[in-house]
Structure 1
Amino acid sequence: MRADSSPPAAPGRVGRVLVAVSYGLFCHVAFALGVGAMMAAMYFGMSRSLGTLSAPWSWIANAALLVQFPVVHSLLLTGWGRAVVNRLGPGSSGPTLAPTTFVAIASLQVLALFALWSPSGTIWWQAHGPALVVLDVLYACAWILLGKAMFDAGLSVQIGTLGWLTLLRGRRLVYPKMPTTGLFRFIRQPIYVAFTLTVWTVPTWTPDQLAVAATFTAYCLVAPLFKEARYRRIHGSAFDNYASRVPYWLPWPGRPRSPSGRHCEPAAGRARISRRQG
């Protein structure tokens, strides 16, 4: 995929190891706390957290918490944002640590959203009995599906190990190839689809959970469009060929479509048409 032009220039092996391990430890602790807070908060419909503000300040704070993740997350994926992330490391190690730094920032954003949310105190519906069992299973399956999608996409990138392990080994940063196997054989955006399922399979529904679910569903529908634009710039025709075979978000049956949205004719069919036209 992409690679830096040269390995990082570190002040020494000991310094490089300390920086790499420190960044890796911080990233993975933040990731675990962020995911844990998200799983727990949504399970209870965002009705339990550390936020204590009352209306109308709670509405303002919650809106800011809800918006900051998609906005900052998307900005950091732009050229300007990547340049900022590349500078968030000591010396010349910033670009190598960029995958780790990016995941650490995203994890802190998720942690802030779900730990600092100020609940409204209103609970619309809460599952009990068999309904609770069914939704517990669905909620767990949605998270397992998300984990599988992240694994298929390249777990080292998704959880931030790529950057700090590359620096630790003193190697050149090389990203995994464009994912096309596993769940990516059926849809192009399995991570976003699985993430969306996690916000809708909760056993407790409140106005807070609905706001979170609606916001993240919209984000998961739109954000991949920008991701695919980057993929087209990086991979060119390889991504176009992949996109022509695999649907965007849902595995609808039918003939594959080209990037323009038109149905693709099989080669044999195109040959027959050419003979008829000739």
Structure 2
Amino acid sequence: MKGVSGENQPSAKVEGRPIRHGAKTKPCRCLGTTERFMTQLDHQVHSIGPEVAGSRIFKFIAFLYGIAAYLVFFVTILYAIGFVMGVMVPKTIDTGAEAPVVRAVIINLLLMSLFAVQHSVMARQQFKGWWTQFVPRPVERSTYVLLASLSLLLLFWQWRPLPAVIWEVENPDLAVTVVTLSFAGWVLVFTSTFIINHFELFGLHQVTNHLVGKDMEPPRFKTPLLYKFVRHPIYLGFIIAFWAAPTMTAGHLVFAAVTTLYIFVGIALEENDLVDLFGDEYRQYKQRVSMLIPWRRSV
């Protein structure tokens, strides 16, 4: 939507009286310091480009919103590492208010289901087509990231521990190895996001392009680095991080099992979208590269 400031509007009248050609006018002394400053500021804003001040303000607000959503995500993913590994956070997967086993399992399943539904439904193209009628497209991804982060924070807050021990690695050296493997899984997650474009994946690229007036490039099919060996290295990293636990409690086992099941459901949904988007190019990629295990085409 374009607009023109009042100073650019041709006017034949002032206060309802015609201005005679060549007539002298007295300078108006009705503007105070604040009003004169605002007039100068308005002129400066309008001189930046063809957009009106409102669109510039919206772009800046959208940019700040994208940064805020990313910061919430970043704090959430750092907390997730501590939550799963049981380190450096006030509440972990094995701590907090306990509940009867059946109630705890139901609560935890509901929390994970809420995240799964939000995360999968909002990622579908059909939902995006409806959703962007209400949410501006430049902040659609940031909104998705923000809501996913909030649903995870809710899970961390309301999670009910199930402390019964399923297995425990007693050898100190082996326990350190397992912890290192879990940490390596998280490193794989982060590395894989940067390989494909971390900031686009989490919405910052979109709001930055919108701020500077640059159009988003259409998606191109590419398989950089790790994606030449497995189709979903991010999900592989999550699976490693969730299962590599020197002490596996019942609560941790429920979390790891359900999230792994959800990962396979998410992969199926995501790959359907990718086939729709890239067609035979992605079908050939599926035949050539394994899903999760390098050098094994079936999985």
What TM-score, normalized to structure 1? 0.77
Q: 2:84 — aligned with what? A: 42
Q: CA deviation at 1:230?
A: 0.8
The code of the aligned residue for 2:95 comes to R
Match of 1:102 in 2: 144
1:211 correspondence with 2:258: no
Q: Secondary structure at the match of 1:77?
A: coil
After superposition, residues 239-254 of structure 1 pair within 5 angstroms as: 239-252=282-295
**1:69 partnered with 2:115:** yes
Correspondence 1:167 to 2:210: yes
Distance 1:228 1:119, change over 3 A: same
Aligned to 1:82: 128
Q: List alignment gaps of at least 5 residues for structure 2.
A: 1-50, 87-91
Q: Which range is displaced more, 184-193 or 242-251?
A: 242-251
Quote the residue 2:29 is aligned against.
Answer: none
Alignment of 1:48-197 (within 5 A): 48-49=95-96, 52=97, 54-55=99-100, 56-87=102-133, 89=135, 94-127=136-169, 129-174=172-217, 176-197=219-240
Shift of 1:86: 2.2
Aligned residues of 2:62 and 2:138 also touching (Cα < 8 A) = no
Structure 1 moving runs of 4+ over 6 Å: none
Query: Percent of counterpart pairs with the same letter?
Result: 24
1:81–1:71 Cα change, 3 Å: same
Specify the SS of the correspondent of 2:54.
Answer: coil
Distance in 1 (alpha carbons) for counterparts of 2:230 and 2:52: 40
One-letter amino acid of the counterpart of residue 26, structure 1:
A
The structure-2 alpha-carbon separation of the partners of 1:178 and 1:195, relative to structure 1 and needing over 3 Å to count, comes to farther
For the 8 Å contact 1:41–1:114, the answer to whether it is kept is yes
Give the number of the structure with larger relative contact order, counting CA–CA contacts within 8 Å between residues 6 or more apart: 1
AA aligned to 1:202 is A
Instruction: Look up the match of 1:32.
Output: 74
**Among residues 251, 264, 267, which one is paired with 1:224 in the alignment?**
267
Q: Which runs of 5+ in 1 are unaligned?
A: 1-7, 258-278
Distance in 1, matches of 2:255 and 2:59, equals 40
Who wins on radius of gyration, i.e. which is larger?
2
**Which residue is 2:6 aligned to?**
none
In 1, the alpha carbon distance for the partners of 2:284 and 2:219 equals 19
Q: Is the 8 A contact 1:47 1:120 kept in 2?
A: yes
The answer to whether the 8 Å contact 1:97/1:163 transfers is: yes
- Any idea what the Cα deviations from partners look like across 1:184-205, whole Å, max 9, x if unmatched? 0001111111111110112331
Greater shift in the superposed pair: 192-201 or 114-123:
114-123
- Letter of the 1:114 partner, please give it: F
